[in-house]
Amino acid sequence: MTNILKRLNTNLKSTLDIYTSFTKFGIAIFAVITALAGAFYAIYMEPLSLLEFEPLLILALGVYLLSSGSLALNQIQEIKLDSKMNRTRKRPLPAGQIGLFQALVLSIGFIVLGLFFLSLLSLRVFYWGVFTLILYNLFYTYYWKPKMAYGAVPGAIPGAMPILLGFSGFSDQLLSVYLFFPFALLFLWQLPHFWVLALKYQKDYEQGDVPVLPSQKGQDMTFKQIGLYLTGYVLLAPLSAFIFSVNIFLLIGIFTWGAALLFQYLKYVQDEKKWLGFFLSLNFSLIYFLYAPLVANI
């Protein structure tokens, strides 16, 4: 009996590992977190008593399923590329852990379910979901990424779309600073985030013939571009003080984190081994910059 339970536990863990890798679970959850931020920016002025849990749950399910399906479809589209790179050749498809037909059924099923849940919010959200899918799985996958050194720049648009999905599910005022601010914040954050990884895994991308910025324009230019977009990101974050009634302590926190990021960036430029500390701080800063102004105004 003990051996049977151990085998079941091992099989379950293996299945979960394959699932989380194939659907890029962490990225999908991050998309949900940013989509919910977009929703909160749309409804933050409403009384808490009017805040309904059900639409937020539908949004979360829709974004999670659509993101998971889209990311899984991307792995199907890039199976040949993934098999060339050391970093990705152990993914479920190139490693033979999941069949192509199974992968296609899972990815399409998730996409359809995701769009269905988004349609429950409104047709507007449904159409934005389809638009996001087209941007990522068509334009980014087949043109921007494999053909452009600066492909990450237009590629940051579908990456920031969860903000729009969340916002448009609760407001039709798309020409609003409450949408522009979080969307721009997420857009700017993605460029240093991606290029740090491009520097770290430059040889892998070269193995796959992916024209990332470091291999096409050199490391010095990549560091300059990271610094440029990081500066824009850090300067944008305090603007929440002009959008919300941000208290002085929150503003101090935003400036402090921004200064710390710039300092870590300078240390990273001097020593590439310090990439992880900068990378993690950059990631956590986005959650703080997005949610801290909302929490301060509850």
Cα separations in angstroms, 226 against 19, 72, 109, 216: 32, 28, 37, 15
Per residue in 139-155, pLDDT (tens digit) is 999 999 999 999 999 99
Per residue in 70-123, pLDDT (tens digit) is 999 999 999 999 888 888 888 899 988 999 999 999 999 999 999 999 999 999
Q: Taking 90 as the threshold, does the pLDDT of residue 181 lie above it?
A: yes
pLDDT of residue 293: 87
Q: Confidence class of residue 10 from pLDDT cuts 50, 70 and 90?
A: low
Side chain identity at 241, as an amino acid letter? A
Q: Which of 22-26, 124-128, 238-242 has the least mean pLDDT? A: 238-242
In contact, 268 and 274? CB cutoff 8 Å: yes
What is residue 49's three-state secondary structure? helix
152-168 vs 177-200: helix crossing angle, rounded to 10: 140
Whole-number mean pLDDT of the chain?
A: 89
DSSP result, 195-258 = HHHHHHTHHHHHHTT---HHHHH-HHHHHHHHHHHHHHHHHHGGGHHHHS---HHHHHHHHHHH
Q: Quick one: which of 35, 75, 80 has its CA closest to 57?
A: 35
Gap between the Cα atoms of 125 and 172, Å rounded: 10
The larger pLDDT score, comparing residue 46 to residue 141, is at 141
Mean pLDDT of 37-53: 73
What is residue 86's three-state secondary structure? coil
pLDDT of residue 5: 41
159: buried, middle or exposed (CB in 10 Å: 19+, 13-18, 0-12)?
A: buried
pTM over 0.85: yes
Q: Confidence class of residue 191 from pLDDT cuts 50, 70 and 90?
A: very high
Per residue in 266-295, pLDDT (tens digit) is 999 999 989 999 999 999 999 999 998 888
pLDDT of residue 12: 57
Mean pLDDT of 208-237: 94
